[in-house]
Amino acid sequence: MAKSFSIFVTEKDQGKRIDQFLSETHLLLSRSQAKRLIENGHVYLNQRPIKPSARLRSGDLISGTLPEPKPISLQPEPIPLSILYEDSSLIVINKPPGMVVHPAPGNPSGTLVNALLYHCQDLSGIHGLLRPGIVHRLDKGTSGVMVVAKEDEAHDQLVWQFKNRLIEKTYWAIVFGSFKEKEGLINLPIGRHPSERKRMSTKTKKGKEALTRWKVLEEFNGYTLLEIHPQTGRTHQIRVHLATIGHPILGDPLYGRKNRPGMSHDPLLKECLKKIGRQALHSFRLKFYHPRTKKLLEFLAPIPPDMMEVIKIFRSAGRKE
């Protein structure tokens, strides 16, 4: 059923746009979700319809309803899942490379959501959006640990943990080049690419804060295995940050080194790209608090065979001297 809410504006939020304000409240809405609710007539300012750009004053009353999730028209599909943990509140899976998380144009079926609908009978919705249970995502070519909510309360709690940076994410990636330092921090804002809509970029006027910590695990001749800790959760963050500092992820179709002169003649690289066929990025570890018990949980997904095969090839070719 739809949920009603009422919020009074205080002095500290005076002057903010209403869509921005709603995205910062306990409602756990993104700014785009807040804007959509306002445009669809679900939000009122002092009991009157308003626009997303309306500016707030101290003492204003914001009220409205969060509509019920729309009936799911997707079909459950008996797609095998690698389940690391499951209880009545959530399910943790090891997503294989090549699996799309949720349906989109060009991927109407065969997604993680289709598999989850078959496995779980009680996935939560997301305030009327058709992404049942999904609180974060991994790109199609990225493998590894993901957590999915099975009930609304768990969903909202996990979203809150992600938003407040309480969830610890650890990735492994194989990247081009060597590093002078053994660890570091990339602090570059990320936004939509100014001309290519499928890409993200650090060279944008409307970038959002993005922080990525990295650490060298193993060095080879011309390649490095990194451990990565994203502190924020921007779209394509790890891929964009590493490409920007000159160390794109091996096999990355969007941000990689597809057309660099001489690459097509490197037999070692050609062999590795053939083995992996995707960006060599893996969600290795995920730590978060259980939404009901508040217990700190930690889950690990072993490095998948394709990335392990590439690491073995580089090792056999010789480590960096």
Residue 54 has pLDDT above 80, yes or no: yes
Q: How far apart are CA 240 and CA 173, in angstroms?
A: 13
- Tens of pLDDT, residue by residue over 78-112, are 999 999 999 999 999 999 999 998 877 677 788 99
CATH number (domain holding residue 33): 3.10.290.10
Asked if residue 180 and residue 282 are part of one domain, the reply reads: yes
C-alpha Rg value of the chain to the nearest Å: 22
pLDDT on residue 212: 98
pLDDT band at 205 (very low <50, low <70, confident <90, very high): confident
Q: How many angstroms separate the CA atoms of 233 and 241, rounded?
A: 12
pLDDT reading at 261 higher than 50: no
**Residues 276-314 pLDDT 10s:** 989 999 999 999 999 999 999 999 999 999 999 999 999
Is residue 232 domain-resident? yes
Residue 305 has what pLDDT? 94
In a domain? residue 296: no
Structure tokens at 148: 């999915």
**Percent above pLDDT 90 for the chain:** 59
More confident residue, 26 or 201: 201
Same domain, 109 and 159: yes
In the predicted model, what is the mean pLDDT of residues 21-38? 84
- Domain total in the chain: 3
* pLDDT confidence of residue 320: 54
What mean pLDDT do residues 189-202 have? 87
Inside any domain, residue 294: no
Token pair listed for 262 = 């001489």
Domain finish residue from 148, 164, 180: 164
| CA atoms of 177 and 273, how far apart (whole Å) | 16
For residues 157 and 173, state if they share a domain: no
- Closest by Cα among 148, 229, 235 to 193: 235
Pair (180, 281) in one structural domain: yes
Kindly state the tokens that stand for 3. 């949920």
* Residue 174 sits in the same domain as residue 160: no
Q: Which of 113, 130, 164 is the last residue of a domain?
A: 164
Sequence-distant (6+) residues with CB within 8 A of 45 are 18, 54, 56, 60, 61, 62
Query: What are 296's two structure tokens?
Result: 């700190």
User: Could you tell me if 183 and 216 lie in one domain?
Assistant: yes
pLDDT at 11: 92
Residues 260 and 125 in one domain: no
Q: Let me know whether 215 and 258 are in one domain.
A: yes
Q: Residue 238 above 80 pLDDT?
A: yes
SS3 content of the chain, % helix, strand, coil (to 5): 20, 30, 50
Would you say residue 112 lies in a domain?
A: yes
Indicate if 312 and 182 belong to the same structural domain.
yes
pLDDT of residue 71: 55
Do 159 and 185 lie in one domain? The reply is no
pLDDT for res 265 = 67
Checking if the pLDDT of 262 tops 50, the result is no
* More confident: 171 or 192: 171
For residues 214 and 204, what is the distance between their CA atoms, to the nearest angstrom? 23
Q: What is the mean pLDDT of residues 51-60?
A: 93
Whether residue 182 is found in the same domain as residue 267: yes
Residue 284, domain member (yes or no) = yes
- Active site includes 139? yes
Long-range contacts from 82-90, C-beta under 8 angstroms, 24+ separation = 82/301, 84/145, 84/299, 84/301, 85/297, 85/299, 88/150, 88/151, 89/149, 89/150, 89/151, 89/153, 89/154, 89/290, 89/291, 89/292, 90/147, 90/148, 90/149, 90/150, 90/154, 90/158, 90/290, 90/291
Residue 45 inside a domain? The answer is yes
pLDDT of residue 141: 95
Range of the domain at 240: 168-288+303-317
The dihedral over CA atoms of 201, 205, 209, 211, expressed in degrees to the nearest 10, equals 40
Is residue 213 in some structural domain? yes
Closest CA to 303 of 284, 278, 277, 276: 284
State the average pLDDT over residues 33-39.
Answer: 88
Are 197 and 312 members of one domain? yes
Report the pLDDT averaged over residues 134-139.
Answer: 90
Write the CATH number for 119.
3.30.2350.10
Query: How does the average pLDDT of the chain come out, rounded?
Result: 88
Q: Where are the beta strands (DSSP E) in 43-195?
A: 43-45, 48-49, 61-66, 83-86, 90-95, 143-149, 168-176, 183-187, 191-192
Domain's final residue, options 41, 66, 91: 66
What confidence score (pLDDT) does residue 275 get? 84
For the cut 50, the answer to whether the pLDDT of residue 127 exceeds it is: no
Give the confidence band of 156 by pLDDT, cuts at 50, 70, 90.
confident
293 part of a folded domain: no
Stretch 115-121: mean pLDDT, rounded? 85
Q: Which of 13, 19, 60, 139 is catalytic?
A: 139
Most confident of 31-35, 63-67, 248-252: 248-252
Q: What is the model's pLDDT at position 126?
A: 47
